[in-house]
Amino acid sequence: MIEVEGISKIFKKAESKKQKIYRTAPKTTFHALDRVSFSCQPGRIYTLLGPNGAGKTTALRIIASMLKPSEGTVKVAGIDINKDPRQARSQLGFLTGSTGLYDRLTPRETLKYFGQLHRVEPDVAQKRIDELIERLDIGDFADRRVGKLSMGQTQRVSIARTLMHDPQVIIFDEPTNGLDILASRTIIDWIRECRTIGKTIIFSTHIMGEVSLLSDDLGVIHKGKLCYNDTFENFKAEHGEHTLEDAFISILEGAE
Amino acid sequence: MKTIWAVFKKEGLDTIRDRRAIISMIVIPMFIFPVIFGGLGFFAIKEVRKAQNKQVIIGLVQPIPENAVVSALRETEGFTVTDLEGDVDPFDQVENTKIDAVIVFESDFAEALEGAGAGKMTLYYRSTGNGGIMRSRIMSVVNDYRQEVRESRIQSLGYSMDFINPVDVSFEDTATQQEQIGEAVGGFIPYIFIILCFTGAMYPAIDLGAGEKERGTLETLLTSSAPLTHILMGKLLLIICSGLFAAGLSLTSMGFAMLSMGSMIGEFASTIGPMLQPLNIILFFSLLLPLTILFASSLLTLSFFAKSFKEAQSIISPMVAVIIFPLVFGMMPWVKLSYVTALIPILNISLASKAIFSGNVPWGPVVVVYVSLISFAAIGFVACTKLVGRESILFRS
């Protein structure tokens, strides 16, 4: 369960040299997120949809407690990220399309390392590594170096790495970004699988096709503001006659 | 503690499997001393010996006065003397024939010598290459003759040689041989070790910070429940070990180089040998440890600051120059270890090791060096953990 309660993020814009010397303009700030609230339930997928630069990644990084919110807070599985970020992180898995792995480690070594970082007990970790290798069909290349694997294989290792500490909440930040259709499919299938076993899932994308494939709940984010937040069923009912893309554009235009 | 160890082990494995890191950490430190000693030392000595033993062909231009100096030249081993016609161009003979040197005597050479005058002769030779050595070989024969004539002239006047040598000075050097060498080489040895220590730490540092950003693994690392300080400490530990490993390896390779080439460069090896006593080496490495911590902390901070591997390299490479400057400054004989210079990092270790290797350690300033280096290491470490935790550095893009 994730409860996002009115988070904002203000970045200071870097001043140009000229501004620094002459002070021609006051210090500028940039609202990457403006009081965003929503919640996601276990066994459901919450899709965060938005154009590039809308604030999706910033929101997800705050939920994952990599960034500190300027105001507001987030509860991950009931744990406040401002109060106990480490405990919150132990309940959280994070996967992005750009997430890499260590090329010179094997999948088995990678899983072991992340088990250690998350302080999974060694015998539990060993069991889970075997289990993940089997479930994700990694066995054939579990002892080959990651750098030598295909993209699809690497993605499966990335998923196993995300699940290594058995998190309750999993964040997928544009996980199919830059992947080919087969590798994307692996990810999509696994996001569904995670839903089946009762995980709370946030998934961000700007690809409309993925929205209808996965969403239970939908949030549309634009220029740092959440301008739609409801179940996907309701969204479809409201915009029945339009294609998804038209509906998305009309929401963005409504928010302007 | 478990996390630090896990990070250290993983980064170690990762680094060992990285060919580029192995070159900077193992290959260069292993071969630098054998190359310096063997390559430069051995060949330089060999060249000089070759020049000293070379058969020199000397051409004498007629008319040739038959007196003692000419017969001495003819008889000296290693010289082949040929007589040349009076109308040859001596310049052309040296440049374009096998003749190495040409001597032209003035027509009144013999008469001047027999009287009280000076016989004039001109030596044509080529100063480049080993010409200097050849010239001094010829001149030593001429000088012997000179000395002989000088003595007989003075004696014929009824004086002794002291007549023209009124002040007789002899020198006693109170500096021990180890002190002399310590000053000459003591600054040079740590110079190599410190540079190697830095370059050995540099590559892993770039890979462990900027490399993590570039591969996109930083985010996964940050979402783990391990505290960032523990992750950083694991990384720092590996960088420190890489630096010290490179320095230690170069010391070992220097030892082997001296043992195996001892016969060829015997003099050099036997003069450096007494400097490298275990106590000196322990003292030096105990100074190198805090400096390495400072290096590792600054390297890792800069590496995390950089957006990519390339940027990290272009930020960090100029730092080598920053390190070389105080080291070269420390090699100057007039820069001494004092309570002031002991405070300046890098310069202080250079000066302290100069003192340590020359055998007389000024303990007061050396203690200050320790205090200074340890404080800088602590500041570097704290700054690293504080700075790297910042959002503006971790997510700088």
Which helix (H) or strand (E) segment is A9 a member of? Answer: strand A2-12
Alpha-carbon distance A162 to nearest alpha carbon in chain B (angstroms)? 8
CA torsion sign, B95 to B97 to B98 to B103?
negative
CA distance B96 to A7: 89
Over the stretch B129-152, which tens digit does the pLDDT of each residue have? 888 888 999 999 999 998 988 898
Alpha-carbon distance A108 to nearest alpha carbon in chain B (angstroms)? 12
Mean pLDDT, range B83-100, rounded to an integer: 88
One-letter amino acid of A134: E
Q: What is the ipTM of this complex?
A: 0.85
Residue B197 tokens, joined? 């220590």
CA distance A171 to B111: 107
**% of chain B beyond a pLDDT of 90:** 26
Q: Quick check: bond before B278 cis, omega within 30?
A: no
A104 vs B contacts (CB less than 8 Å): 13-14, 17-18
B216/A96 Cβ within 8 A? yes
Residues B349 and B194 sit within 8 Å (Cβ to Cβ): yes
DSSP lists the bridge partners of residue A12 as: A29
Task: Report pLDDT for A207.
Answer: 83
Residues A92 and A86 sit within 8 Å (Cβ to Cβ): no
Over the stretch A85-104, which tens digit does the pLDDT of each residue have? 888 999 999 988 777 889 99
Kindly list the distances between the CA atom of residue A82 and the CA atoms of A89, B38, B94, B253, in Å, as whole numbers in the listed order: 11, 62, 88, 53
- Dihedral angle at the C-alpha atoms of B316, A113, B247, B356, nearest 10 degrees? 100
A111 vs B contacts (CB less than 8 Å): none
- Closest Cβ–Cβ partner in A92, A99, A109 for B219: A99
Task: Report pLDDT for B244.
Answer: 92
Q: Return the number of CB contacts < 8 Å for A and B.
A: 78
Alpha-carbon distance A32 to nearest alpha carbon in chain B (angstroms)? 14
Alpha-carbon distance B214 to nearest alpha carbon in chain A (angstroms)? 9
- Which residue of B218, B220, B390 to mutate against A (max A Cβ within 10 Å)? B220
Topology (CATH) of A1-91+169-174+205-256: Rossmann fold (3.40.50)
Which helix (H) or strand (E) segment is A8 a member of? Answer: strand A2-12
B221/A98 Cβ within 8 A? no
B220/A94 Cβ within 8 A? yes
A100/B217 Cβ within 8 A? yes
B7/A117 Cβ within 8 A? yes
Enumerate the domain spans of chain A: 1-91+169-174+205-256
Over the stretch B297-317, which tens digit does the pLDDT of each residue have? 999 999 999 989 999 999 998
Task: Report pLDDT for B224.
Answer: 86
B14/A64 Cβ within 8 A? no
Closest to B60 in 3D by CA, of B89, B81, B88: B81
A116/B219 Cβ within 8 A? no
- Dihedral angle at the C-alpha atoms of B219, B223, B226, B231, nearest 10 degrees? 10
Over the stretch B337-395, which tens digit does the pLDDT of each residue have? 888 888 988 889 888 888 887 777 888 889 999 999 999 999 999 999 888 888 888 88
Tokens 């000075």 map to which residue? B169
Over the stretch B27-63, which tens digit does the pLDDT of each residue have? 887 887 777 766 777 777 787 888 888 888 999 988 8
Task: Report pLDDT for A106.
Answer: 94
DSSP A26: P
A92/B216 Cβ within 8 A? no
Task: Report pLDDT for B263.
Answer: 56
The b-or-e profile of A125-163 (16+ CB within 10 A means b, else e) is beebbeebbeebebeebbeebbeebeeebbbbbbbbbbb
* Positions of chain A with pLDDT under 70: 13-27, 241
CA distance B293 to B300: 10
Task: Report pLDDT for B36.
Answer: 72
Q: Which domains does chain B have, with CATH numbers?
A: 2-45+177-394 (no CATH), 55-164 (3.40.1710.10)
DSSP lists the bridge partners of residue A29 as: A12
Count CB neighbours of B278 within 10 A. Answer: 7
More confident residue, B397 or B325: B325
Which helix (H) or strand (E) segment is B84 a member of? Answer: strand B79-84
Q: Is the pLDDT of residue B73 over 70?
A: yes
B13/A94 Cβ within 8 A? no
Over the stretch A212-243, which tens digit does the pLDDT of each residue have? 888 999 999 988 888 889 998 888 888 776 77
Residue B354 tokens, joined? 């100069």
Over the stretch B197-241, which tens digit does the pLDDT of each residue have? 898 899 899 999 999 888 888 888 888 888 889 999 999 999 999
- Which residue of B7, B14, B225 to mutate against A (max A Cβ within 10 Å)? B225
A102/B14 Cβ within 8 A? yes
Q: How far is CA A244 from the centre of its chain?
A: 22
A116/B18 Cβ within 8 A? no
Alpha-carbon distance B252 to nearest alpha carbon in chain A (angstroms)? 29
Label residue B185 by pLDDT band (50, 70, 90): low
Task: Report pLDDT for B117.
Answer: 86
B217 vs A contacts (CB less than 8 Å): 99-102
B18 vs A contacts (CB less than 8 Å): 104
- Closest Cβ–Cβ partner in B2, B6, B394 for A113: B6
Label residue B291 by pLDDT band (50, 70, 90): very high
B224 vs A contacts (CB less than 8 Å): 89, 114, 117-118, 165
**Interfacial B residues in 230-269 facing A (CB < 8 Å):** 231
A117/B3 Cβ within 8 A? yes
A90/B3 Cβ within 8 A? no
A114 vs B contacts (CB less than 8 Å): 220, 224
- Which residue of A10, A94, A116 to mutate against B (max B Cβ within 10 Å)? A116
Label residue B173 by pLDDT band (50, 70, 90): confident
B225/A87 Cβ within 8 A? yes
Residues A57 and A175 sit within 8 Å (Cβ to Cβ): no
pTM of the model: 0.80
